[in-house]
Amino acid sequence: MNTSIRNLEQVEDALLNERLEPKEVLHEGEQDGYRLMKDIVSGEMYLHYTYLHRDLSAGGEEEWYHHLMPLMPDTAIAIVLGEQPYQYPDHWHDRYLRNGPEGTYVWFDPRGEEHHEDHEAFARLLKEKLAKLKSAERSEGEIAEFLNEMDRWDKENT
């Protein structure tokens, strides 16, 4: 059983409250804040950003919004050491959780549809190239070139 929150489509607020514990306060202001959080079940790290929104059309009603961005361990360490910026939205380029109505968080990808279209194009290209590789015997050089081409694409698109 994979216990990662990253594999869930929607995440209940209660589950996050149960599993995430604060590890480091990075910034705490009157209207926003950043904390490093750890999932006590999976060990995964998240950057928690919270900010206050005032709805002027509802008479200034205040509501707190929350975002959780999964972090690689090296990234979490770099943020704590002050070696990597983390401010929203400038440094939030990957998929992250945002709170929504009725106590659930949903994944949001700031890269949008273009990113998904690029990946679909890559999938078609990969399928085509793999079919060619399978259709005839290939030399080690041809296989190496194929792998190098895939590495180049990966570096350019991630």
Cα 21 to Cα 16: distance, rounded to the nearest angstrom: 9
Relative to beta strand 104-108, strand 45-55 is: unpaired
Q: What is the pLDDT of residues 118-143, one digit of tens each?
A: 556 666 676 777 777 677 777 777 77
pTM: 0.68
DSSP string, the chain: ----GGG-SEEEHHHHHHHEEEEEEEEE-SSEEEEEEEETTT--EEEEEEEEEEEGGGTSEEEEEEEEEEE-HHHHHHHHTT-S---TTTT--S-EEEE-GGGEEEEE-TTHHHHHHHHHHHHHHHHHHHHHHHHS---HHHHHHHHHHHHHHHHHH-
Instruction: Give the number of other Cβ atoms within 10 Å of residue 54's Cβ.
Output: 11
CATH class, 5-108 region: alpha beta
Instruction: Return the pLDDT at 140.
Output: 77
Q: What is the pLDDT of residues 86-118, one digit of tens each?
A: 999 899 999 999 997 778 999 999 987 554 555
Instruction: Return the pLDDT at 43.
Output: 95
Among the listed residues 20, 25, 21, 45, the one whose alpha carbon sits nearest the alpha carbon of residue 35: 25
| Spans of all domains in the chain | 5-108, 112-157
